[in-house]
Chains A and B, each alone.
Chain A
Amino acid sequence: MANVTGPAEALDVTLLRKDFPLLSREVGGHPIVYLDSAASAQRPRQVLDAMREYDETTHANVHRGVYRIAEEATRRFEAAREAVGRFIGAPTPSREVLFSKNATEGLNLVARTWGRTHLGPGDAILLTEMEHHANIVPWQMLAEERGFTIRWIPVTDDGLLDLDQLDRLVDGVKLVGITCMSNVLGTLNPVSEIARVAHAAGAVVVADGAQSVPHLPTDVSTLGCDFLAFSAHKMLGPTGIGVLWGKEELLEPLPPFLGGGEMILDVRKDGFTPNDLPWRFEAGTPPITEAIGLGAAVDYLEGVGMEAVRSHEIALTAYAMETLRERFGDDLRLFGPPDPSDRGGVLSFAFRDVHPHDLSQILDQYGVCIRAGHHCAKPLMRRFGVNATARASVALYNDESDVDALADALAAAGAFFG
C-alpha cells in the first residue's frame, strides 16, 4: 500500500471553507463541526449562486417553449447533463445520463425497467451484504413480484468483500448489484474486478456510486459497471436530483419507467410511443434549478480536482484513525478496513458502551454533527452484530481541527457517561 499519511497535493481547506456559508455557523455557542457529509454534503456559494441566478434570470419549463428564456433554460439544463457526463467519463452524456430524484430512484429505475424485463422465476441476482437499502429493497420488491432469488457476497471481519466464493456465487446470476463505497464502513470495493467476473458470467452490473462519485475520480469506462446511480446532495449539490448513468445499448431497448409528459413521442387513444433517450426515463417536468445546481457542483469539484479531493480525504482519514486510536485505545472500536487507502472518509465506530444515539446527542452539545443509527444498511449491521453505529464522515472542507474537535467531544461524552 502507498504511504498515505503524507499530504500529497494539500488542499487549502481554510480557503475552501469560505465558500461554504453554513460552515461559518455556530451551534450552541460552538463553531459547527460538520462530520456528516456521507448523509448530505454542504453546498458552496458557487452552487447556491448558480441556482439563484438561473431562477432570477432564466427560469422556464424545458423542452417546451420556443421563446428565448425557454430555449436558454433547456440549453442550460442539457449543459448540466453534459457536465455530469464529463465528470464521470460517460462516452455519450446526451443519451446515457438520466436525471432522477436521487440515487434511490435511479436504482429503482433499473429494477423496474431492466429488472422487470429480464428477471423471472428461476433467475438469480447477486448483491453484497454491505449494500445500502436503496440497492436491496428495490430488488426484494421485484423478487416478490417475479420470483427470482437473491444471493449475497459476504463481508469479512475487516469490512472487505469476501471474494473467495465469487466464482461460485456469480455462476448463473443475471445481475450483480454492488456499492462502490460502503456508507458505513467506508470500504472501497474492487468494482472493476467484480464487473469483469460478472460480465464473463453474463451478468450486468449495477453500481451504487452514492458515496464514491462525490469523493473519488470516477470514470465509467474503466469502472466496468453497466449502470451507476448517485445523488447530487452528497456531492455539494442540491437535494431533489440524482443521476443514473447507463450504457446506451442497455438503456436503448428498455421500456419507460414512469409515464407522463416528456417521456413520449406520441400519444393516441390506443397507445403511446416512448421518447428517445434520455427523456424516455424523465417523465414530467424535471428538477431544472437543481440540475443547474448539480452542474455547478460538478464544476466546483472539477475546479478543486478529484485527485486532490481524494488525497486530502485519505490523509484526513488516516489522521482521524490515528488520533482516535491514540486517544481512546480499546475504548473505541472502529469498523471497516484498517488501511486508510482501502477506504473513503467514512468512520463508523462504537465508543465504550455508550449508545451511538446518546453519543451523537452529547457531541451535538459541542457543535459536532455525526450520524448515529443503522445508516440504512441493516443487513450489514446484523453482520457485525450491532443495531447502530456512530459515524463520522469527512469531505473536502474538513480538516484536522474537525477531527480534534470530534476527539475532544468524545472524551467529554466518555466523562459524562462515567
Chain B
Amino acid sequence: MAGLEDLYREIILDHYRSPRNRGELASPPAYRVEGFNPLCGDEIVVTFEIEGEAVSDIKIGGSGCSISQSSASLMSAAVKGKTVPEVRDLIHTFKGMMSIHESTLPGAGEDGEAADPAEPGPPDIEELGELAALQGVVKFPVRIKCATLGWNTLAQGLDEADAAGSAP
C-alpha cells in the first residue's frame, strides 16, 4: 500500500503552505480561465499574460486541497517566462507522468487523461525537475484529478488565447 509520504512530499507541502504566484492578474489584458474539480468542489483561477512568444506572467487563484494547490503553484513557477510551445510541451509531459501509471490502474482512462496513443513512450520525467515530486500522486488515483486541475485549466487558457489569435 502506498504511504502518505509518497503523496505528501516536502516540496508539495512547502508549495501548499507558501504558494507561489498567488493571486489574479487584471483581466483583460490577462487571460483568465476557471477550472473546477466536480468531485471535491476545488476551484482554480488561472490568469496569465502573453508577451511576444512567452507566458510573461501567471497567477493562481481559487482554493483547493494541498495537491491541487501545490501542483498549480509548482506549475506557475515552472511555466513563467517559457514560450508558449515550451509550456505546451511541459503540460504534455506532466500529464504524461500523471497518466502512464493511471492507464495501468483499474478504472483508469475513461476521462481523457490517458496518454495520447499517437505519442507513446514515457515522458521525460527528468525534464520536470521539482514537478517530479508529484509523481507519487499516481498511486492515489482519486487524487490525479487534483494534480492535473491547474494544468488542464492552463491548457484551456492557452487554447482560448490561440483562438483569440494572440498566441503564436
Interface set of A (CB-CB < 8 Å, partner B): 28, 355-358, 361-362, 365, 372-374, 378, 381, 387-388, 416-417
Rounded to whole Å, the gap between the CB of A244 and the closest CB of chain B is 26
Within 8 A of A (CB), among B52-77: 63-67, 69
Are A361 and B64 in contact, with the CB atoms below 8 A?
no
Are A361 and B140 in contact, with the CB atoms below 8 A?
yes
Are A355 and B41 in contact, with the CB atoms below 8 A?
no
The docked-state distance in angstroms from the alpha carbon of A365 to that of B5 is: 11
Rounded to whole Å, the gap between the CB of A153 and the closest CB of chain B is 22
The docked-state distance in angstroms from the alpha carbon of A184 to that of B7 is: 28
Are A358 and B41 in contact, with the CB atoms below 8 A?
no
Are B43 and A355 in contact, with the CB atoms below 8 A?
no
Rounded to whole Å, the gap between the CB of B64 and the closest CB of chain A is 7
Q: Which residues of B contact A372 (CB under 8 A)?
A: 40
Shortest beta-carbon contacts, A-B, top 7: A374-B41, A357-B65, A355-B65, A387-B41, A388-B41, A373-B40, A358-B66
Q: Which residues of B contact A357 (CB under 8 A)?
A: 40, 42, 64-67, 143, 146
The docked-state distance in angstroms from the alpha carbon of A387 to that of B8 is: 22
Interface set of B (CB-CB < 8 Å, partner A): 1, 3-4, 7-8, 13, 39-43, 63-67, 69, 140, 143, 146
The docked-state distance in angstroms from the alpha carbon of A361 to that of B144 is: 13
Are A387 and B42 in contact, with the CB atoms below 8 A?
yes
Picked from B3, B39, B65, the residue with its CB within 8 Å of the CB of A358 is B65
Are B41 and A381 in contact, with the CB atoms below 8 A?
yes
Q: Which residues of A contact B67 (CB under 8 A)?
A: 357-358
The CB with the most chain B CB atoms within 10 A, among A356, A365, A381, A387, is that of A387
Extra contacts, 20 of them, besides A357-B65, A417-B13 (Cβ < 8 A), are A355-B64, A355-B65, A355-B69, A356-B40, A357-B66, A357-B143, A357-B146, A358-B8, A358-B66, A361-B143, A362-B4, A365-B3, A365-B4, A373-B39, A387-B40, A387-B42, A387-B43, A388-B40, A388-B41, A416-B8
The docked-state distance in angstroms from the alpha carbon of A417 to that of B8 is: 10
Q: Which residues of A contact B146 (CB under 8 A)?
A: 357
The docked-state distance in angstroms from the alpha carbon of A356 to that of B67 is: 12
The docked-state distance in angstroms from the alpha carbon of A387 to that of B4 is: 24
The docked-state distance in angstroms from the alpha carbon of A361 to that of B66 is: 11
Q: Which residues of B contact A381 (CB under 8 A)?
A: 41
Q: Which residues of B contact A387 (CB under 8 A)?
A: 40-43, 63-64
> Which single residue of chain A is at the shortest CB-CB distance from B63?
A387
Are A373 and B1 in contact, with the CB atoms below 8 A?
no
The docked-state distance in angstroms from the alpha carbon of A251 to that of B39 is: 35
